[in-house]
Amino acid sequence: MSSHQPSPPADSLVLYKVHPARVVSVGEKIEIALEGGQTKRVRAKDLELLHPGPLRSLGELVPQEGEVEAAWELLEGSETTLQELAELAFSAFTPVTAWAAWQLVAEGLSFTGTPGAIRARPRAEVEHDRAQRDAKAVAEREWQAFLGRMAQAAPAPQDAGRLTEVERLALGQSERSRVLEALGHEQTPVNAHRALIQVGHWSDRHNPYPGRCSVPTADPDLPVPALPDQQRLDLTDLPAYAIDDEGNQDPDDAVSIDGDRLWVHVADVAALVAPEGAVEREARARGSNLYLPERVINMLPQGVTEQLGLGLQPVSPALSVALRCDEQGSLTDIEVHRTWIRAQRLSYDTVDGRLGEAPFAAMCALTDRFRARRVALGAISLDLPEVSVRVVDGRVTIRPLPRLASRGLVTEAMLMAGEAVARFCQEHGIPISYATQVAPDAGDQPRDLAAMYARRRTFKPTRMLGAPDLHAGLGLPLYTRATSPLRRYSDLLVHQQLCAWLSGQPLLTPEQVTERIGEAEAAAGTVRRAERLSNLHWKLVFLKDHPDWQGEAIIVGKEERKGVALIGALALETRLRLRDEPDLNQGIRVGVRDIDVPDQTVSFRVLG
């Protein structure tokens, strides 16, 4: 109200801000009564007159029934006053109908404006806004119904779309979720994971870690060329043994012995995967196979393994390393050939029972010399618990890996091949990446579990470098990874360089090798993290399936009022609250106390 206009009379209905008010008295300032009985002294310009009154109480302003639609149709597209609108819609102009008419204007659907200049909106505008409002009302009802179902942990099929945003947060693909906020959970991947379990959208068995680590969860879908016609050394008359875990699906190495020469045969992946092309780029981007308890995701298309896996076909193409090992365990007479071999697949268990027989006894004699040399050069042997975690048809099994001598035989043979290839490439100027490890702090060879645990904590990570250097943990002056090209990109790159050299083709430069290895190792690090988190996830699921599980924990370290323990049957580290000071290597019987699958935590209680 402008300052030159008369003040509203006492008992009139006025608009103060957006609220109704009754004028109590008029003076230098105007006293008004507001809803709830509060009074206030204001200036005349702060008020808008709606009706001169008399209005005895704001309680008289009750909702009115009238011909609102008819009034709007009559006035559509024109301007009117509050009095005319009240009379058309409610057949009278009183404080009560004036307030009811003003609420129509304040709603902003059919009418807009001020008390003195009200506009009846055109039909097209009204119908457009009404449709939007109705849609919002429907959406709000559906939202509230959805939250009700979530509170009851009873999601319906139509809720999958809404829960996708929670899944994205659980997988680390977004930072916020309206749904999670409405359910009262903190906005973190762990809480999103927990919420999805609580509402029944995910089971506690759902493994989110490959997605959270952003690693591919399907094999590459790329065409694989046929094996080219290449000149190869025929070794099909020399027995070759591909020794691996039972059920292994990607056999990429085998061993033979010919007199005093050991042969290590490796699947010739470079025959199908060229240094340039879609398959190579995909393998580089993945870095390595992803081994999950529930499945394996390959870095190469399945067709590569089908053609090249040793022993999967009657005759297999291989890149074979021949070497001799002298009495001091040093490697001599190193040769590298592209070959044809006939591989027989055997399990570690089978070979373990035949190590005293030919040809395995002769192989062991060579690998034992090599191992003795490595130990003399400072190789550190750690016998920490290892387990195999598998999920088949939803059932989790955890099996400790036995320390089989046959596994040691194969490990040493592969290390021999790694050193031999590294020396061969160095001597012939073939750029490759070398696996190196800085020597840990000086110390004796650990003899017990606690000492092995402590020594492992001093290890520096293995690095892939473009120049040869010591691998302290292995006790080798130079070493490269070359025996798993179906599974690791670094091995594949070594093969590509060797095969290019053997056939007289151009080699990648040291800079190109370094760049490619850097990219692949970054990806492989993410894969290893996904594997580590996934293995822990399924261990916790196993314990949740077996809440009465009990086992032995060995004390390997001490903290304030806690013992750091390794549970061998689970290959799991835990911390135990103990009454008395424990001894290192002391065995303690433990049982499960509490498990939080989304948080990846488990606590154990000491028994008896």
How many domains does the chain contain in total?
4
> What's the confidence (pLDDT) of residue 402?
87
Same domain, yes or no: 417 and 502:
yes
Helix (H, G, I), strand (E, B) or coil at 452: helix
> What's the confidence (pLDDT) of residue 443?
66
DSSP-assigned states of every residue in 141-183: HHHHHHHHHHHTT---GGGHHHHHHHHHHHTTS-S--HHHHHT
Residue 92 belongs to a domain = yes
**Burial status of residue 129 (CB atoms within 10 A of its CB: 0-12, 13-18, 19 or more):** middle
Residue 409 belongs to a domain = yes
Please write down the HEC assignment for all residues of 338-406.
Answer: EEEECEEEEEHHHHHCCCCCCCHHHHHHHHHHHHHHHHHCCCCCCCCCCEEEEEECCEEEEEECCCCHH
Same domain, yes or no: 255 and 283:
yes
For residue 85, what is the enclosing H or E element?
A: helix 82-90
- The pTM (predicted TM-score) of the whole model is 0.81
> What's the confidence (pLDDT) of residue 308?
95
Q: Please check whether residue 52 is in contact with residue 12, taking contact to mean a CB–CB distance below 8 angstroms.
A: yes
583: CATH: 2.40.50.140
Helix (H, G, I), strand (E, B) or coil at 520: helix
Same domain, yes or no: 163 and 308:
no
> What's the confidence (pLDDT) of residue 5?
64
Q: Encoding tokens for residue 288?
A: 């390595």
Residue 212 belongs to a domain = no
Residue 4 belongs to a domain = no
Q: Encoding tokens for residue 572?
A: 């799991």
Q: Is the dihedral of CA 63, 66, 69, 72 positive or negative?
A: negative
> What's the confidence (pLDDT) of residue 102?
97
For residue 239, what is the enclosing H or E element?
A: none
Same domain, yes or no: 515 and 555:
no
Residues of the chain with pLDDT under 50: 1-3
Same domain, yes or no: 180 and 245:
no
> What's the confidence (pLDDT) of residue 447?
85
> What's the confidence (pLDDT) of residue 116?
85
Domain boundary among 64, 93, 123: 123
Compute the chain's Rg from CA coordinates.
Answer: 39
Which domain, by its residues, includes 168?
Answer: 125-202
Q: Please check whether residue 109 is in contact with residue 133, taking contact to mean a CB–CB distance below 8 angstroms.
A: yes
DSSP-derived secondary structure letter, 548: T
Beta-strand ranges (E) seen in 147-282 are 233-234, 240-244, 253-258, 261-267
Q: Please check whether residue 483 is in contact with residue 419, taking contact to mean a CB–CB distance below 8 angstroms.
A: no
For residue 134, what is the enclosing H or E element?
A: helix 123-151
- From residue 348, alpha-carbon distances to 79, 200, 345, 364, 400 in Å are 93, 42, 10, 14, 14
Same domain, yes or no: 188 and 155:
yes
Q: Encoding tokens for residue 403?
A: 């320390």
185: CATH: 1.10.10.10
